[in-house]
């Protein structure tokens, strides 16, 4: 299993809207990609912003490329999310899952 990790930040007032967008639209929209295994969304207050860490799981590099394109590290940002984010990682990081409980 490959885990893709990406960070994005919103203004505190936009955090709940961004969270709903992730839950209701963005993450369900990528379930159609063969090899997508699911996601964890982590959230914490960071000063006047809220930090989101999105961890998605994938069966293969081919599945990640179907989602993110060649090179695999480019962030995929939904247009509705782009207006809510104050900043974000310019690249996603990938990790092999060493073990899963």
Do 9 and 88 touch, CB atoms closer than 8 A? yes
Please tell me the distance from the alpha carbon of residue 48 to that of residue 24, in angstroms, as a whole number. 25
For the chain, count helices (H), then strands (E). 4, 5
Tell me the mean pLDDT per 10 residues along the chain, length 101.
97 98 95 96 96 97 95 93 97 91 73
**pLDDT at site 50:** 98
pLDDT for res 82: 96
What φ, ψ does residue 29 adopt, rounded to 5°?
A: -70, -20
Of the candidate CATH numbers 3.30.70.100, 3.30.43.10, 3.90.1300.10, 3.50.50.60, the domain formed by 2-96 belongs to 3.30.70.100
Burial class (CB in 10 A: 0-12, 13-18, 19+), 70: exposed
pLDDT score at 94: 97
Judge if pTM exceeds 0.75. Answer: yes
| CA separation for the pair 82, 76 (Å, rounded) | 10
The encoded tokens of residue 87 equal 């900043």
Three-state DSSP class for residue 83: coil
Per-residue pLDDT, 101: 73
Domain layout of the chain by residue ranges: 2-96
């Amino acid at each position: 299993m490959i885990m893709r990790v990406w960070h994005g930040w919103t203004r505190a007032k936009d955090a709940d809207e961004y969270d709903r967008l992730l839950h209701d639209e963005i993450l369900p929209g990528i379930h159609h990609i063969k090899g997508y295994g699911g996601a964890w969304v982590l959230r914490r207050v960071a000063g006047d912003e809220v930090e989101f860490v999105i961890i998605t799981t994938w069966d293969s590099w081919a599945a990640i490329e179907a989602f993110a394109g060649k090179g695999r590290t480019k962030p995929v940002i939904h247009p509705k999310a782009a207006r809510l984010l104050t900043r974000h990682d310019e690249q996603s990081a990938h990790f092999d899952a060493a073990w899963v409980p």
